[in-house]
Chain A
Amino acid sequence: AQTVTQSQPEMSVQEAETVTLSCTYDTSESDYYLFWYKQPPSRQMILVIRQEAYKQQNATENRFSVNFQKAAKSFSLKISDSQLGDAAMYFCAYRSGVQETSGSRLTFGEGTQLTVNP
């Protein structure tokens, strides 16, 4: 079974600075997807960024980028130029790439609470 570990329960960053959230995972599969989701106080889980394991290039979405190290099974999220609206719980998630018709099981980490200080 796959597992996802986020070792930082809480992180804080000054506004406009850069912060990196850590995520490691364990799997025996070679084809999979990794995600970062953001859950602000409104509780709406929002997809931040997605990475396909077969792609060597790290995904980027505006101020958000990942450092995907497949051999090390590491998938960290870097937030540049942090804004107050970035304050939220961030979840790392894993999904198998094995084609299936029954749905799409996501395995989540425990989450990292990010505080952005003005």
Chain B
Amino acid sequence: ETGVTQTPRHLVMGMTNKKSLKCEQHLGHNAMYWYKQSAKKPLELMFVYNFKEQTENNSVPSRFSPECPNSSHLFLHLHTLQPEDSALYLCASSQFVSGGQREQYFGPGTRLTVT
């Protein structure tokens, strides 16, 4: 049982499609993250949201558009992707307390294939 869920688990899309990834956390956290995990590469942080405000954009191309309507939900809108964008996209959440952020908890990821 995970406190962070992601849908869909698998997604195949063409380069001209528009799709969205969804992440929901049930842990009462106030920070959420998108990571990209490609084969043979370390996890790459894409976006950070803290209290629903985007606080970090790690030089991500504009074809990836995040949205955080509330502290429990995070979306990643995808449009005109490239084949090299195929990867596992992981969502995570954490709780800010006095003294800093607590550990990040991850969702199961969405395996994205761009054809």
| Interface residues of A, Cβ cutoff 8 Å to B | 4, 35, 37, 42-47, 50, 91, 95, 97-111
Contacts and interface: CB of A to CB of B under 8 A. Distances in A.
Chain A interface SS verdict (over half): loop
Contacts, number: 69
Interface in B45-61: 45, 48-50, 55-56
A105 B45 contact: yes
Interface residues on chain B, size class: 20 to 34
Contacts of B55: 101-103
B109 A103 contact: no
B90 A103 contact: no
Interface stretch (B20-28, B36-44, B74-82): B36-44
Nearest to B95: A104
Interface of B: 2, 31, 33, 40-43, 45, 48-50, 55-56, 88, 90, 92, 94, 96, 99-109, 111
B108 A43 contact: yes
A102 B43 contact: no
B100 A97 contact: yes
A99 B98 CA distance: 9
A100 B102 CA distance: 11
A55 to B, nearest CB: 14
B103 A50 contact: yes
A41 to B, nearest CB: 11
